């Protein structure tokens, strides 16, 4: 599952383009300030002269040169800030511009051990390249909070759906701090996958890494790597993606061919993500009783104790929409006769 060299180069070139773009903005801002604020350029140019003079004094044995330089540079910084403010510009107007403050648009950060590692923004792009086939980008264009409607629900079904929407919004709002998990279950076509898409879109826009898989697709991928002796590295990378992404969405749990391999892999995934305090959203058409009967007791226990359970009920929205569309078309046809 490692990136190909062309995929890696594409991401790195993207960072280069970002740095170039931000540098051009800063250069344009600098020219604007030089052209509109008298004396600002001279203050900037005086910094290098002061630094050279101080370096010469320090080399000649002047122990006070360093402290004097700090005071003089601080005074210049204050004067520049005052000039910007007096002319209606924010104090950070000429500070370096970064799209990602963590890695400063390099793609890499230095961890606590002093080692270089991929930044979250790099990981997000990496996952996007790897899992483009999951169709999550296409899905969230149609399934997001802006397209949400309560029109297809009534009575108790409506109350269940409103509660699920509120829980989903709360999940997104508290995502950074909570590490919570959601389990949507209930009858076919009642909005479980839709709400998963809503959550995915919000968190992707917020900069989090999200992997979406149908249950059958995820376990097929795992089986393909696990039983291929030449795919050990791909399997290791795939595990790291599943266990390490900010949010994993497993859609339609129960549609896969369930066996001992699937059961063990599902438990390992839930257990490892729990240990890493990574959030998971699962949707299924199974009832809780069917979930317990199909999977092991420890999986049932892990889900019911570590996930917020959310039941949705009602008619199949997809069938209902089709019926409504057909009815509208027929009415239009009759009215035009």
Q: Give the tens place of pLDDT for each residue, 217-267.
A: 999 999 999 999 888 888 988 898 899 888 999 999 999 999 999 999 999
Per-residue pLDDT tens digits for 168-186: 999 999 998 778 999 999 9
The number of residues in the chain equals: 337
Residue 125 scores a pLDDT above 90: no
Collect contacts of 26-33 with beta carbons under 8 A, ≥24 apart: 26/94, 26/96, 26/97, 29/93, 29/94, 30/94, 33/84, 33/89, 33/93, 33/94
Tell me the whole-structure pTM to 2 decimals.
0.68
In this prediction, residue 140 has a pLDDT band, given cuts at 50, 70 and 90, of confident
As a whole number of angstroms, the distance between CA 144 and CA 198 comes to 4
CA dihedral 157, 163, 168, 170 (to 10 degrees): 170
Per-residue pLDDT tens digits for 31-46: 999 999 999 999 888 8
Inter-residue contact 254 to 290 (CB < 8 Å): yes
Identify the structural domains of the chain with CATH numbers, from first to last. 131-321 (3.40.50.300)
pLDDT given for residue 277 in this prediction? 92
């Amino acid at each position: 599952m490692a990136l190909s060299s062309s995929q890696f180069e594409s991401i790195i070139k993207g960072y280069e383009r970002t740095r170039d773009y931000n540098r051009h903005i800063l250069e344009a801002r600098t020219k604007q300030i030089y052209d509109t604020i008298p004396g600002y350029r001279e203050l900037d140019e005086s910094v290098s002269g002061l630094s050279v003079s101080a370096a010469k004094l320090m080399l000649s044995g002047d122990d006070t040169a360093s402290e004097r330089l700090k005071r003089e540079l601080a005074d210049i910084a204050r004067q520049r800030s005052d000039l910007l403010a007096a002319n209606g510009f924010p104090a950070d107007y000429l500070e370096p511009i970064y799209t990602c403050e963590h890695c400063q648009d390099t793609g890499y950060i230095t961890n606590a051990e002093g080692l270089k590692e991929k930044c979250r923004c790099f990981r997000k792009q990496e996952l996007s390249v790897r899992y483009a086939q999951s169709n999550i980008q296409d899905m969230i264009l149609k399934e997001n909070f802006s397209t949400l409607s309560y029109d297809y629900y009534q009575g108790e079904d409506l109350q269940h759906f409103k509660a699920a929407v509120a829980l989903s919004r709360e999940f997104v709002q508290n995502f950074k701090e909570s590490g919570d998990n959601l389990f949507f279950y209930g009858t076919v076509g009642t909005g479980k996958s839709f709400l998963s898409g809503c959550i995915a879109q919000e968190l992707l826009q917020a900069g989090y890494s999200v992997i979406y898989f149908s249950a059958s697709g995820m376990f097929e991928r795992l089986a393909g790597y696990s039983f291929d002796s030449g795919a050990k590295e791909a399997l290791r990378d795939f595990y790291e993606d599943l266990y390490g992404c900010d949010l994993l969405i497993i859609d339609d749990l129960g549609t896969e061919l369930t066996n001992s391999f699937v059961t063990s892999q599902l438990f390992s995934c839930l257990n490892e993500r729990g240990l890493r305090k990574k959030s998971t959203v699962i949707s299924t058409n199974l009832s809780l009783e069917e979930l317990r009967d199909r999977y092991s007791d420890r999986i049932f226990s892990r889900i019911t104790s570590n996930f917020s359970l959310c039941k949705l009920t009602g008619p199949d929205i997809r069938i209902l929409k089709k019926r409504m569309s057909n009815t509208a078309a027929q009415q239009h046809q009759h009215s035009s006769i």
